[in-house]
Structure 1
Amino acid sequence: MKFILIATALLFIVACASLSVNKSTKFNKTEHITYKQTAETTLTGDLYIPDISGPKPAVLVVHGGGWSKRSGDMEGISKQLAGAGFVVFNIRYRLAPEYHHPTQMNDVSDALEWLYQHADEYQIDRENISGWGYSAGAHLILMAGLDRAQAPQLRSIIAGGTPADLSRWPNSPLVYKLIGKSMAEAEAEWQDASPVNHVSASSPPVFLYHGQWDKLVEPEQMELMNNALDKKNIPSETYTVSFAGHIMTYLFAGKAERRAIAFIKEQSRTQ
């Protein structure tokens, strides 16, 4: 009897998963589209386009990896977003320590500009472009989008495992590689590279999610970012992924990601 109950439960889970897949919008993926050319390199992104006619919302997706590698390629969330009807541009940017801040932030900003400029070509709603990043990618999308006075402006931002206040890690080798100087040498630069210091009255709504057991980027960082948003009365929402560290949250934050997608859709309707 126990075996039958377990088998029935497994069949039910598989059936539900199949229904979820069937409801997902079909999409096409084009890899390595150039969005920026520099003297040293060509920067590209992968574009996911849902099989839906007419103008569509879009999301600029930014990978993590401690600013120095692309260890989290964000392909999973890109597919989820495309399946939910969003045009997705999953980009690459120049890496530390060869390139220092604000190079990475500028690359993200230029990718947003590219997406805006090519909106007609890819049937994108220019007024409905959001951003999503995890870890270093969360830091960069916040830096590029929080205090953005000029168009294009992000409709909303999703930030997971966010390094929000870099000054909390004065001896971090990762932040040192990003800035190129120690905090003792360049405290003002470390502060300027911290998203908590770039919230403005015109910043877009932000959804923050973080692993409960994150030891690489402590959960306190989510609180610091949320407090900075609250002080400027920016709509925000937080989600703690229970019993998960930094990597596990990136890999298995299903409920947080689904809530984040719902957050983007809500902001698209309310603004």
Structure 2
Amino acid sequence: MQLVVREASAGPFLSQVLQQALSEQQLSALQLQQIKSKAVLMSLKFADKFYNKYKMHLLEQAAYDVIGITSLGLRALSDGDQQQALQALLSQEGIVKPFQKGWSMLSAVSRKTPGKNSLYGEVDEQLLQQVSSPPDAEDWPGWHAYQQALTEHHRHQAMQLLRQQFYQKQVFDEFEHFSLEEVLAEVVLYRAICSGDKVRQDLKKRLRQINLAEHWFSETYLLLQTEAVLSELPAENAAAIRADLGQHFIPALLRTLQFCRDYQSLQQTDATPEKLDAFEHKHGLQSPLLGWPHYLEL
């Protein structure tokens, strides 16, 4: 099993560390052989669990998986410092601890889809494919792929937290919201209009009776309302949500609030639900109504 890359600055992190150590004579042939032996054994175990260890191409794939997973964990444990990484590899646990770390990292950020099982159990197949790498690859996208998955994991966690904290119902259609911004916007808009109540599917009905104060129609007011929502969340989750929001979030929310006023005016003419829905659809095509609920008022 080869564990060396062509250049010290390219390829999977495990290979980078070994190549650098060899070039600086910090790693003996015996030590390298011991690391390789453990890697081969782990590859056999991985192939036996998830593939077929008696088929050469699957055994090779298992080796690539072990290299990628170990690289991920090794980089995390060493914070990208190759000297620390080398010491971890030369410890009694060798590559076992970095592999376990990498596997737990992948497991933590893998989305569990009901009714769809991954070949790798708790780890997403596509994510592992991105992390997996031959030892001599010129480029290793594994760390970047993990960072993207981690960001998406934080978004999903934040969406769940917002729903648990601010929605009356706790069972949601997975297609009801497509982004973290949409969830936050609906919470902010509903609470701003409905005096801080938990979100229900009754905004359009309640809008008929609400006096929309003039001072609500400002970006400053909506920014304060957004911060009021975030202040009720744990600091790390609030920080993750702030980092995810685009610069157009507040202006888009203001446009939706202005639409609320126009929608209310149409309601007061005793417009039919169909006419109101057509009005909503027309404005939605012109500009997305961020935070506006998507259901037909009956």
Q: Could you say whether these structures have the same fold, taking a TM-score greater than 0.5 normalized by the shorter chain as the test?
A: no
Alignment TM-score, normalising by the size of structure 1: 0.25
Structure with greater strand share of residues: 1
Alignment TM-score, normalising by the size of structure 2: 0.23
